[in-house]
Structure 1
Amino acid sequence: MLQQLAAQEHQQHAAELLCQQKASEAEHIHQADELQHTQQEVVQQHATQKCCDLEQQEWLEDLYQEYGPAFAEKHEEDLQRRRHAVLESLLESLMVNLIMVYLQMNHLILPMSTKIKFKKGVLQLLVILMVILIMVCLSMNHLILPMSTGIKAINSPCHQGIDHIRSQLSVIILV
């Protein structure tokens, strides 16, 4: 009788572990699909941008031949500003997606939730990530020197945290 109860309890525990494992696998598959979808969006936007660039380059050459160099140069400057704005928007969207995927994969927020529930210490992490994102945007607009020149929070307790997050984001971007 005791052996039957122990066997039933063991089977029930094994079934619970199997359910948990399948749920975890399903969550990882969902996160991988989400990351792949994000990467596909970036590739598609890049391809669209290249196509637009080729069309606009042909258009600029036509302008140059038809109206002269001064007119074409003015339009080329406008084109460069638009390209810069598109690139900045693409970078912002990619950074936000990478941050969200990173937080979801490390179980710091609930995936695909309408209300993001923060675990302990996550709010500080998000603030640091937003500071990095703002620094990247400022650097792209040439308002500050690029981050590679060594802009650091000297003598700050969050200095090591920023370096850690930069290295983590680098790993995510490389993957």
Structure 2
Amino acid sequence: EAAAATLRLLTPYRAAPGQAWTLWWQDNAPAWSRLASRDALIAELYDPVAALPTGLAAWQPEELGVLIDLALPTRAVPGWVPARALACLRTQDAAAWSEAIAKAIVIQDDHERRLELLVLLDAVGGAQARGQFERLLAELDAREEAALERWRTAKLAPPDLRAERALIRQVLDRTR
């Protein structure tokens, strides 16, 4: 009943305790309990005097993707949160997080957000992320070619990808 009351407070879902709710909760309680413990770890980032959360290694980067968002300084969070999120990311497996950040870059349409994620990828992965940067450069070449084709056929102005290209090349040159 407490879980149903909480759900009603936090969401527009209006389930009342009963047989359907009990069945749903029996099926979903482990997943929601795991998410609650993950959210407790993330909440520790918001306390500027607390030690960095421990236990992050038990989670896959996909489960802690919010750390990527929190590490970007342009998000609407308290000023100390991005630095703490970045510190957490740096304590984790750089290869796994580099892959997760690179995936976030590939699916991102917003140019400025892509630049932010590229800087984050460099900060987290460093030289270990060289392969990711090489793949991102190839992906950028393909995106640029597709944009030029749209310009030729539909007269849609291509985006300016020079900053993104320069950032990727700078990292590749530095990690050579």
Per chain length, whose mean CA-contact separation is higher, i.e. which structure has more relative contact order (CA < 8 Å, sep 6+)? Answer: 1
State the TM-score, normalized to the length of structure 1: 0.24
State the TM-score, normalized to the length of structure 2: 0.24
Please identify the structure whose Cα radius of gyration is greater. 1
